[in-house]
Chain A
Amino acid sequence: MSVWRSIARRFIRRVISSIPAIIGVVIVTFILMRVLPSDPAVFFTSSSVTAGQAEIDSMRKKMGLDQPLPLQLGMYLRDVARGDLGNSLTTNQPVVKDLLRRLPASLELTFVALVLALATSIPLGVLSALRSGSLIDHAVRFLCTIGVCMPTFVSGLMLVYVFYYLLGIAPDPTGRIDIFVASPPDITGFLLIDLALIGDWAGWRSALDNIILPACTMALFVLAPLTRMTRASMLGVLGSEFVRTAKSVGLHSWRIVVVYALRNALLPVLTMAGVVFSTMLGANVLVEKVFSWPGVASYALDALMASDYAPVQGFVLLMAFIFVLVNLTVDVLYGMADPRVSIE
């Protein structure tokens, strides 16, 4: 039980220590948005042809942009503390509501992509470590290089071209589900889970078909770091003294590879997977764009284009929060996987 207590202690300590970082992120984003050269008041009044200086000024006043910067920041921080991230001017909805509606889409895509990436990269990494220097090793290295050097929008478009346009086995890249399938009730927001819960297997199949191409695109991009990490870590462990011990007592080779080598080799991969997850969630905006995926990243990009402050700030805050949460989860998992960590 002391293991759990120590994990809980670490958890709380990490949550507390991440608060300053999150506040810092909020302030920096706030200032960054304000120093950008475009004026949202102009942007949002220019839609009406008759808009003159008077309208712009009143708009600015309405948005609170006539106040001095520190005061704006103070008001913003106060709102954030209350859980109010402001309203989006493009969707006319509270930012919190928008983000919460779109976050499951991004999370679902990223989870599926991460699972795909891990399911591919760990066996590939293990294989290339076991046969290092062989043809397989070089082939895996080649695949990783392709994956990492091809921008996601290129690989995404290529997948769409091949599987949708040429072969016709993938659905059209227009969102999370076939438009003719009735949208499921909003239970968790994760389509694959919701549809399974209500037992709509046709819809589930459609959601799966829709998610596979974008998830593959994302997975391909992170295949390289995960595979290379698995390979390097596996090579190190295979050369270690305790693997030699395992050999010296005559353990089966698969048992040596799985129980002795792989479990130890996965520890650094776990850390890597956390970083990869956070990166995919926020940075793969291009994948969301290519596949018209209604996620948070494309939402933030649209808002940025429109100089819509509140959603961008909300998005950055959300990402910072998720980053902290993911690292925390990785830490807890690490503490459970490696008994040496919990002694601090």
Chain B
Amino acid sequence: MTGGLSIDDLQVVFSTRNGPVEALRGISLELGDGETLGVVGESGSGKSVTAYAITRLLETSGKIVNGRIVYKGSDITRLSESDLRTMRGASISMIFQNPRAALNPIRAIGLQIADAIRAHTAVTAKEARAEALDLLKSVMIRDPEARLDAYPHELSGGMCQRVMIAIAIACRPHLLIADEPTTGLDVTTQKTVMTLLARITAERNMSMILITHDLGLAAQYCDKIVVMENGRIVERGTTRTIFLNPQHPYTRRLVAASPTPTSTIDDLARVAEAEQTTHALSARPAAKPYSITDGAILLQIRNLTKRYSSNIIAVNDVSFDIPVGGSVGLVGESGSGKTTVSRMISRLIEPSDGKIIFDSKDIGAIPARVFHSVAERRDIQLVFQDPDGSLNPRFSVFDCIADPLRKLEKLRNGKELRERVRETAARAGLADNLLSRFPHQLSGGQKARVGIARAISIRPRLLVLDEPTAALDVSVQAIILNLLDRLRREDNMAFLFVSHDLNVVRMMCERVVVMRLGKVEEIGGSSLFGNPQSPYTRSLLDAIPHFDPNGQQIKALPKANEYSR
């Protein structure tokens, strides 16, 4: 070894209320100088635990029980607390998933960068500030002098991540561990942040460990990849071999479940079926064709506008149609107004202007306050992004699904209600024995199913889905997307599918509405993905990371003006 990182048979155990949990079951890996290693895997695979074990930042309940982590010739697992302090930041540093939460909310960012500098070098506050300014310049933050005194809440998520990078590289470490650094950021922001990271690591000859659930991202920025499952490394190799010739079944499943520019819902169906059999749930005979009647319009949006406090226009003059049984995707970056549009259509907030015509009735004129009592409430239902937060923690699965039946169909407790709930749950792929459970006793995928079952229990005609799979692992996402597609065919439901993931929208929708800064940028059929008319749509599409067998990893310098908004 040339002084890189070498992990040997590392085991980490967390002590929990239900006894010890093995988070890492003996992993070994090597990382040379200047290399970029991708660690991919789904939630619970132990990839973040690996990162925190390397920096010894595990929660107090997590203990390294076996193995060695040798970095620059010394075993990190045996370092004293003061040696660790010298190591952290100066030779190994980290950047985190949620950049805004990772920064101290009540301390100016210039001071936070200076804190990092002064932790390892004896400089005056003034010198540290000057150095912080240089760092802000090197992470390409616009107007860096003014930003020194800004607080995290005054910056966008992408900006906060740049500040976090500046803090991480402040003391010129040789190894950077990036734990899901762009999860939660827009694709275009993701691209600029990742390009920046790639450039900085290349310039400073740093090695990087990129921890991500996004195979495409790992493919684009890493030389080598290890795939983790249940605390073990199941496969390792160069990016090319992992993608073109995956050996382990888990890797194959992961590769198959990751949406690509060419995958279709049928590809995901195969993944889903493979998973279903392991979950012992019989897949229903699918493939009832979509029945989109030409010309029959379910929902017409006309000149929809939402203004907040006079001068902020969240949604500006948006018009589009959803045919009966059709599926329309609403895409755009954060702040584009797509969620506001979906909230107005679901009649949760009031439009400032414009019409929402559902089945030739202007439901936009019905105040959101009383909408729960009109018939259309049953026809328009929602599936939310956060499967956790959108379920009442004190409601069992049965109560969650029964709630709309009780409230909107006035069903009393009894045989009919039980039958309906059971039937709905079965359609959403929830086994009978799950009905008495509470949300915290369910997995993420099961919670997503409950959210879907609740929405379809009263057979709506329009389902508004707000990023329904954004919080899920790719293999679970494949199953849920497949389920949604099947339900849509069975019930002849129309979908309004709000998402930032263009690959998912391409698979799920016939038409796409691209929004930008509150306005419709482009509307088109699925051909839009092959041949976008607006440069904005093209930049969104280009920003999606994916594995290109003929391409090179991005290590090239970004263009001069790669400043994000």
A residues touching B (Cβ–Cβ < 8 Å)? 240-242, 244-253, 255, 259-260, 263-264, 267, 337-340, 343
Contacts and interface: CB of A to CB of B under 8 A. Distances in A.
A259 B153 CA distance: 18
Given A244-B57, A244-B96, A245-B167, A264 B105 contact: yes
B168 interface: yes
Interface stretch (B84-92, B124-132, B204-212): B84-92
A98 to B, nearest CB: 44
A246 B57 contact: no
B55 interface: yes
Contacts of B101: 240-242
18 contacts: A242-B101, A244-B57, A245-B96, A247-B57, A249-B115, A249-B116, A251-B85, A251-B89, A251-B116, A252-B85, A259-B115, A263-B106, A337-B106, A338-B105, A339-B151, A339-B153, A340-B153, A343-B153
A130 to B, nearest CB: 12
Contacts of A249: 88-89, 93, 115-116, 119, 167-168, 170-171
Given A250-B90, A263-B106, 16 more contacts: A240-B101, A241-B102, A242-B101, A245-B96, A245-B103, A245-B104, A248-B89, A249-B88, A249-B168, A249-B170, A250-B87, A259-B107, A260-B104, A339-B105, A340-B151, A340-B153
B98 interface: yes
Nearest to A244: B57
B94 interface: yes
Contact of A241 (B84, B98, B115): B98
Interface string B95-126: 01010011111110000000110011000000
Nearest to B56: A247
A318 to B, nearest CB: 34
A241 B85 CA distance: 17
B540 interface: no
A340 B107 CA distance: 10
Nearest to A241: B101
A108 B89 CA distance: 48
Contacts of A252: 85, 119
A159 B250 CA distance: 71
Contact of B57 (A248, A259, A339, A343): A248
Contacts of A337: 106
B104 A246 contact: yes
A343 to B, nearest CB: 7
A248 B151 CA distance: 20
A339 B106 contact: yes
Contact of A250 (B86, B103, B107, B151): B86
Contacts of A247: 57, 88
A245 B85 contact: no
A343 B153 CA distance: 10
Contact of A338 (B55, B81, B90, B106): B106
Contacts, number: 85
A264 B93 contact: no
A249 B115 CA distance: 9
B164 interface: yes
Contacts of A263: 106-107
B102 A245 contact: yes
A240 B106 CA distance: 13
Contacts of B170: 249
A255 B85 CA distance: 12
Q: How large is the interface on B (under 10, 10 to 19, 20 to 34, 35 or more residues)?
A: 20 to 34
Contact of B102 (A242, A250, A339): A242
Contacts of B55: 248
A119 to B, nearest CB: 22
B542 to A, nearest CB: 31
Cβ-closest 9 pairs across A and B: A250-B89, A249-B89, A250-B88, A249-B116, A241-B101, A248-B94, A242-B104, A339-B151, A245-B102
Nearest to A339: B151
Interface string B157-175: 0000000100110110000
Nearest to B153: A340
A250 B85 contact: yes
A267 to B, nearest CB: 8
Nearest to B94: A248
B221 to A, nearest CB: 21
Contacts of A250: 84-90, 116, 119-120, 171
Given A249-B168, A250-B86, A250-B119, A242 B93 contact: no
Contacts of A240: 101
A277 B350 CA distance: 43
Given A252-B119, A259-B107, A263-B106, A241 B96 contact: yes
Nearest to B177: A248
B153 A242 contact: no
A252 B81 CA distance: 10
Contacts of B85: 250-253
A260 B81 CA distance: 19
Interface in B147-199: 151, 153, 164, 167-168, 170-171
Given A246-B115, A252-B119, A340 B168 contact: no
Interface string B35-58: 000000000000000000001010
A23 B172 CA distance: 63
B539 to A, nearest CB: 30
Interface in B279-317: none
A263 to B, nearest CB: 6
A260 B115 CA distance: 10
A340 B94 CA distance: 26
B155 to A, nearest CB: 12
> Which has the most chain A C-beta neighbours within 10 Å: B94, B102, B104, B116?
B104
Contacts of B98: 241
Nearest to B84: A250
A241 B184 CA distance: 16
Contacts of B106: 263-264, 267, 337-340
Contacts of B171: 249-250
Nearest to A260: B104
A252 B170 CA distance: 16
Contacts of A338: 105-106
B500 to A, nearest CB: 23
A248 B104 contact: no
A244 B89 CA distance: 12
B11 to A, nearest CB: 22
